[in-house]
Amino acid sequence: MHNQEAFLGFKAAGVVVAGGSGNRLGGATPKQFLVLAGKPMLLWSIETMLRCNKLAAIAVVVPAGEENRVRALLPHAWNIHVVAGGASRTDSVRAGLAVLEPMLPDRVLIHDAARPGLSPAVIDELLAALNEADAAAPALPVADALKTTPTVSSVSRDGLVRVQTPQAFRWNAIARAYASIIDPAVDDLALVEAAGARIALTPGRHELMKVTYAEDLAVAEKLIAGPTVRVGSGFDVHGFEPGDAVILCGVRIPHTKKLEGHSDADAGWHALTDAILGALALGDIGDHFPPSDPQWKGAASIKFLQHAVKLAHDRGYRIANADITILAERPKISPHREAMRAATADAMNVPIDAVSVKATTTEKLGFVGREEGIAAQASVLLST
C-alpha cells in the first residue's frame, strides 16, 4: 500500500531540516552532505527514523536544486519525501509540514539534520510525552558557567536547560502556530509557547549535539560511531640459564635460575609489547629491537614496552586494558602478581585496574613442565 490510505493507521510523521548552507562550518560543501563516520550527515537521522518504525512518513527538506542529489543518497523507502526548502529555517519547516499534511498525521517530529546523533529511544520518549503534552523536546542541564559580554558578568544557571531537537508536536498545535506566524522564532517550540501549549521536556543526549563549527565534526563522529578499537595478542618464551632470579613484568623474582635472552628476557613484557605492536599492525618486537643490535644487550624491557605504548599514542590510541598470562612451574608467580600489575600499569601510565596478570602451569607437560623455561602470552585492547 504505497498510497495515502497506507498512512491512516499511523499517527506520527517526521520533518528533517537539511536546507542550510553551513556557512559557520566553512568549506564549499554544505554540512548536511559532509561524510560523518562513513556516510553523509543527513543520512544518520533519516535512517534512525526509518529504523524506529514509529513514523509513517518523513519529509526531508533540502536546498532548492539539491532534490535529485539527495534522493540518490537516501534509502529507497516509499515513505520518504524530498522537498525544497526556503530562505529561512521557518520557511523550510513550513515546506516539510505542507508535504505531510495530506497524510493526516496527528503528531510530528521536527529535527535538524545537523544533529546526527538521533536514537530510537529519543523518538520513543518524545512521542510518549505527547500523550500528556502539546509539545516536547529533549533538554540537557547547563553545566558550564554563564557570563554576559562584554561586561563579563555571571548569569545564574538555575532553571536553565539546553533544548535540542527533534522537537515533537501534536499536529494541530504546530499547524496553528505556523499558520499564524509573523516573525521567525528561535526554534519551533517557541512558536507554540506563545499560544499556551503544554510543553514537556524529555532527557537530552550529548550525542544529539549540533554540528556547527569545523571542530564539532570530530566530536560528533566519536559520539556517534563510538571509539575505534583494536585487539592484539603476543607470545614469548625464554629458556633458563644459571642465575639467581627471573624478571617478569618488571619485577625481579628470586629463583634458582634466570631467563636467557639478549635483553633482560622479561617474557611478560615482551609478550605485551608484541600484543601492542600487533594491534597496530606494526610488526613485532624483533623488527623494532633486533637481537643482532648490540645496543639492546641486557636492555630493560620497559624500553620496549614504552616504545610500543608511544607508537599507540602517536596514532590516537590508548591502552584500554591488558591481560598477561605467565606459564611456569616455578617460581611461583602469585606472591608477586600485584607488584607485576603495578609495575606494568606504571610503565604504560594506565590505572592498575586496566592490567591483569595471571599464572598457570602446564601440568608438568612440555618444556615449561620440564622447567626448561618460562612462556608468556598477552592480549591488549587499544581504543581511541
pLDDT at 28: 65
Considering only CA atoms, which of 92, 120, 143 is closest in space to residue 207? 120
Q: At 325, give phi and psi (nearest 5°).
A: -120, 125
Q: Is residue 6 over pLDDT 80?
A: no
Same domain, 179 and 298: no
Same domain, 213 and 312: no
Q: How many CA atoms lie within 13 A of 10 on its CB side?
A: 21
How distant, in Å, are the alpha carbons of 13, 104, 384 from that of 171?
Answer: 9, 9, 43
As a whole number of angstroms, the distance between CA 100 and CA 11 comes to 12
Using an 8 Å Cβ cutoff, are 105 and 11 in contact? yes
Domain tally, the chain: 2
Same domain, 188 and 234: no
Read off the CATH number of the domain in which 340 is found.
3.30.1330.50
Same domain, 188 and 244: no
pLDDT classification of 1: cutoffs 50, 70, 90: very low
Same domain, 159 and 238: no
Helix axis angle for 267-279 and 302-314, nearest 10°, is 20
Q: State mean pLDDT over 67-81.
A: 91
The rounded mean pLDDT for the chain is 92
Q: What does the radius of gyration of the chain's CA atoms come to, in whole angstroms?
A: 30
Same domain, 97 and 201: yes
Q: Per residue in 98-109, pLDDT tens?
A: 999 999 999 999
Same domain, 260 and 213: no
Q: State mean pLDDT over 147-170.
A: 93
As a whole number of angstroms, the distance between CA 205 and CA 203 comes to 7
Q: Of 225, 246, 272, which closes a domain? A: 225
As a whole number of angstroms, the distance between CA 225 and CA 215 comes to 16
Supply the range of the domain harboring residue 263: 229-383
How distant, in Å, are the alpha carbons of 30, 187, 226, 319, 355 from that of 384?
Answer: 28, 35, 9, 9, 18
What percent of the chain has pLDDT above 90? 76
Q: Per residue in 13-67, pLDDT tens?
A: 999 999 766 555 656 677 889 998 889 999 999 999 999 889 999 999 999 999 9
Q: Per residue in 326-372, pLDDT tens?
A: 999 999 999 999 999 999 999 999 999 999 999 999 999 999 999 99
Q: Is residue 166 over pLDDT 50?
A: yes
pLDDT at 222: 82
Q: How many CA atoms lie within 13 A of 98 on its CB side?
A: 14
Is-above-0.85 flag for pTM?
A: no
Q: Where are the alpha helices (DSSP H) in the chain?
A: 41-52, 67-73, 89-100, 120-129, 171-180, 188-193, 216-225, 267-279, 285-288, 302-314, 337-348, 366-369
Q: Per residue in 184-218, pLDDT tens?
A: 777 899 999 888 899 999 999 999 999 998 899 88
